[in-house]
Structure 1
Amino acid sequence: MSDFDLFRISEDHEGLREAVRQVCEDKIAPHAAAVDEESRFPQEALDALQATDFHAPHIPEEYDGVGADALATCIVIEEVARVCASSSLIPAVNKLGTMPILVAANEDIKRRYLPPVARGEAMFSYGLSEAGAGSDTAGMTCKAIEQPDGTFLLNGQKSWITNAGVSEYYTVMAVTEPDGPRGRNVTAFVVEKSDEGFTFGAPEKKMGIKGSPTRELHFDNCVIPGDRMVGERGEGLKIALRTLDHTRVTIGAQAIGIAQGALDFSLGYVQERKQFGRAIAEFQGVQFMLADMAMKLEAARQLVYVAAAKSERGDADLPFFGAAAKCFASDVAMEVTTDAVQLLGGYGYTKDFPVERMMRDAKITQIYEGTNQVQRIVMARQLLKG
């Protein structure tokens, strides 16, 4: 293999893209506007993704999954996001919720919880943020106190939990030693939707990704068996940050998918829309906007794909590249979707066309799984560490 081959996407990956795009165009895109307008879960997308094994492609074959690599998983998320960002959170959050299991759990937990997700029988969400602990994850107050019988009593709340109420399983981080050293006193657990004392807050009323429910998790003396601990006691925050190194890449994939959808629609529109007797695509000002949109999008895509390859290999510099991919791609998505609205003029500002939805959806990619300000802190720390 020559060095140049490393920069070519494999035929398998391109074949996967074609297959996912077909499913998205046929089964997901027709419902995207209604899902947004009605703020309802995209059940049609879930059904279509489960029928084709695209709902959680990252789960290894030994746990009944298809064993897609990190780049293939990114391509799935990218293609779904191109037509419906809310729907792309199905594979993205299944990965986010199960990643702590994959990187840190014992074999018993893996065998118990990964196969149902792989088979499409359950979804998995992730509980890290709290009302008072967003970027400051170590400041969480949700507690899991061990009882004499070896169970843990979980009390507190988690905020901004994607697909809450729909998912059957939740990876939840909680303080197990309240007087322990800050950041080294957090432990990860699997919580099941049916656990007594576990309830959900009302759905958040959001600017975008309206089809993906976002709710608080509430724990009131929720009893968690000791055998649901993920990884070692006190290692929860370390596991959470390792998880985000991998899953930030998928947010970058979601961002480039949203941006690609906006660019694709814009290209069609400017060739049809006529002003001053000719298509607006013939005007140089419009052409320069399109060129900049495509150039930045392609740069973002390359960075995401490199980060995905590093995620697959577990490279030491993944923390930098994961943060960079998420940060750059989401900034580009916001810029590209804003320009798409501008290219459509007054029509772009209406719900008759999808670009205003894409612009609203793009915004969250700059915020969740660590704000882009936090991503810059992560990158700077990696640089200063050498």
Structure 2
Amino acid sequence: MEPTDHSGTTPDRVSHLLEFLRRYSRQRLDSRRMDERRAFPTSLIPDLAAHGLFGLQIAEEHGGLGLSHSDFLRVITQLGAIDANLFVLLGVHNTLGVPPVAHYAAEHVKNAVLPDVAQGRALITSAISEPGAGSNVRAVQARAERWPDGSYVINGSKQWISLGADATYVNVFARLSDEYGRDLGITGFLVDTSTPGFVGGPEVLTLGLKAVPQNSLEFQSLRVPGDALLGGEGAGLLAAKEAFMRGRVTLAAGGLGAMMRSLELAERFARRRQVATGNLAENGRIHQLFAESVAATQAVEALVHYIGARMDSGEHVPEELFFAAKITGCELMWQVVDRSVQLLGARGYVDTNVLGQFFRDYRLLRIFEGSTEAITVYLGSRMLAAPQRVLSLLDEFDVAPHLQELAAGVAKLASAKTANVQSQHVLANVVGELTCWTIMAGLTGQSQHRSEMAQYTAAWCEQQLSERLRTAEQGTPFVELPTVDAIARHIGSYDDTIGDVEQRRPGDQNDLDLLLRRH
């Protein structure tokens, strides 16, 4: 089933926006300098703001561009092809920051906040992750208390918050209790960061994405008014979940741009490079790697476009599609970027040849919005609870009978019995991954007639599903794992071989994370 395009965005507006970004990349942007300085140039935010990039989907009445979902994802893909820092800056602001306010804040709050946010006069982000709770919103420990005068007081901490200390507004999600101590559930609050009690912590020194600040935040008896609520009391999970779901397809769209740019560079090199077997691009194995990489890129592109079109049509988008975008989109992105580095040989390891920085920057996408492993196990656990759900996912697409048979095989595997909790988690991971490939095979299969490459992509996705299913069937029941203690003892024995090599330089930000230290 092909979704109907109900996009209301003017094509010329989006085309002009994309052309601006391309021109800006050529003439003004210096990714190496941003990486070295761990900062954006002072002109970047006003330059982007002048073209509406901080209000991509904010309504025009509030000064935004009011883009459709499809056009928003087109812009994100363009940003991903240019620079990961640029993509994450605008992705976090527009995806995690704006929607909770645009959809859940009181009307007078929207009128006061969104115009400044849309025009780039104020950055906005969300604070969900904590030292003990990543993307699992239900596990947050930050506390909010309702006071008799209707205000709220927030205490707690957040960690790994993109733009956290630089934002003007932060959507804070905390566990609320009333004045009698009764738990009212996770609740969202719009916090002005100039409020007393808001403490922006130091910037984390990350492996990549060095221009985008990642901060810890502290809330020390921070008081917000009653109209700071995002939705009702106890309704924070809804706002947070919506932001995360949008964030997952946004990551896939940005990663798609990285895939396209990486393959563009790798193909240029391969066409021009002569090796012992002749032209590198015509080497059979290299040819195969390119074909598989392009198929992976086209499959992610199809999923991103499909989700965007479904959202624009107002139709319900099954959550599994957003999970597939995050899991398969980010994993395939990483494979393509890594493979492109490999295809360039020594040139791929040179940091000034774009791909080296891509390699560092885009590695985070496999962790953002929940790590691949955690999200895959979660998705698989949903399928274990309702195995026939795998089959119903194919109702989204026009698929051949043999794909239905493969999906039936996944459903059967999801019904398998496991010996213990650990084995169930392993099975859930396998089923979660197979669910993603069921979606990808179904989606690409219905459009295989469009071109020679589309036909190959459909066959490749089906092959991925078939081979992974066969491997899983042959490996079930799983080999019994050593106990957690046995693994810990064995790793502990490495100390006899490598000794104590922890570096002890002064300064909090140079210290090893507490959970990784020797003692």
TM-score for both structures, normalised by structure 2: 0.68
Q: CA-to-partner distance for each residue in 1:106-163, whole Å, 9 max, x for gaps? A: 2122212211111221111011110011143212111111223322111111111111
Q: CA deviation at 1:313?
A: 4.2
- Measure, in 2, the Cα distance between the counterparts of 1:162 and 1:132: 17
| Residue matched to 1:62 | 61
Q: CA-to-partner distance for each residue in 1:156-205, whole Å, 9 max, x for gaps? A: 11111111222211111011128656xx6111001112111111111111
- Measure, in 1, the Cα distance between the counterparts of 2:361 and 2:163: 15
SS in 1 for 2:20: helix
- Measure, in 2, the Cα distance between the counterparts of 1:356 and 1:134: 28
Distance 1:150 1:257, change over 3 A: same
With CA pairs under 8 Å and 6+ residues apart, which has the higher RCO, 1 or 2?
Answer: 1
- Superposed, 1:70-219 pairs within 5 Å as 70-95=69-94, 96-177=96-177, 185-219=185-219
- Measure, in 1, the Cα distance between the counterparts of 2:258 and 2:182: 42
Q: CA deviation at 1:375?
A: 3.0
Structure 2: gaps of 5 or more residues: 390-519
- Aligned partner letter, 1:51: A
- Measure, in 2, the Cα distance between the counterparts of 1:50 and 1:272: 40
- Measure, in 1, the Cα distance between the counterparts of 2:73 and 2:2: 22
> Do the aligned partners of 1:177 and 1:186 also contact (CA within 8 Å) in 2?
no
Q: CA-to-partner distance for each residue in 1:196-240, whole Å, 9 max, x for gaps? A: 111111111111211111111111111111111110001112221
RMSD of aligned alpha carbons? 2.6
Say whether residues 1:261 and 2:258 are aligned partners. Answer: no
- Measure, in 2, the Cα distance between the counterparts of 1:10 and 1:121: 26
Identity of aligned residues (%): 25
SS in 1 for 2:310: helix
Q: CA deviation at 1:63?
A: 1.7
- Aligned partner letter, 1:53: G
Q: CA-to-partner distance for each residue in 1:308-355, whole Å, 9 max, x for gaps? A: 223334543342211111211101110000001101111211212111
Say whether residues 1:27 and 2:24 are aligned partners. Answer: yes
- Measure, in 2, the Cα distance between the counterparts of 1:9 and 1:146: 42
| Residue matched to 1:249 | 249
- Aligned partner letter, 1:137: V
- Measure, in 1, the Cα distance between the counterparts of 2:371 and 2:111: 33
Distance 1:249 1:180, change over 3 A: farther
- Measure, in 2, the Cα distance between the counterparts of 1:380 and 1:7: 31
- Measure, in 2, the Cα distance between the counterparts of 1:8 and 1:316: 14
Q: CA-to-partner distance for each residue in 1:244-300, whole Å, 9 max, x for gaps? A: 222221111111112112111112222233334954223222222222111101100
- Aligned partner letter, 1:28: S
- Measure, in 2, the Cα distance between the counterparts of 1:224 and 1:5: 43
- Superposed, 1:338-349 pairs within 5 Å as 338-349=338-349
Distance 1:153 1:7, change over 3 A: closer
> Do the aligned partners of 2:73 and 2:250 also contact (CA within 8 Å) in 1?
yes
Q: CA deviation at 1:41?
A: 2.6
Structure 1: gaps of 5 or more residues: none
- Aligned partner letter, 2:99: M
Deviates more, 1:106-115 or 1:341-350: 106-115
- Aligned partner letter, 2:67: A
Q: CA deviation at 1:366?
A: 1.3
- Aligned partner letter, 1:74: L
Whichever of the two has the greater Rg, that structure is 2
> Do the aligned partners of 2:154 and 2:219 also contact (CA within 8 Å) in 1?
yes
- Measure, in 1, the Cα distance between the counterparts of 2:25 and 2:61: 29
- Measure, in 2, the Cα distance between the counterparts of 1:189 and 1:199: 16
| Residue matched to 1:285 | 285
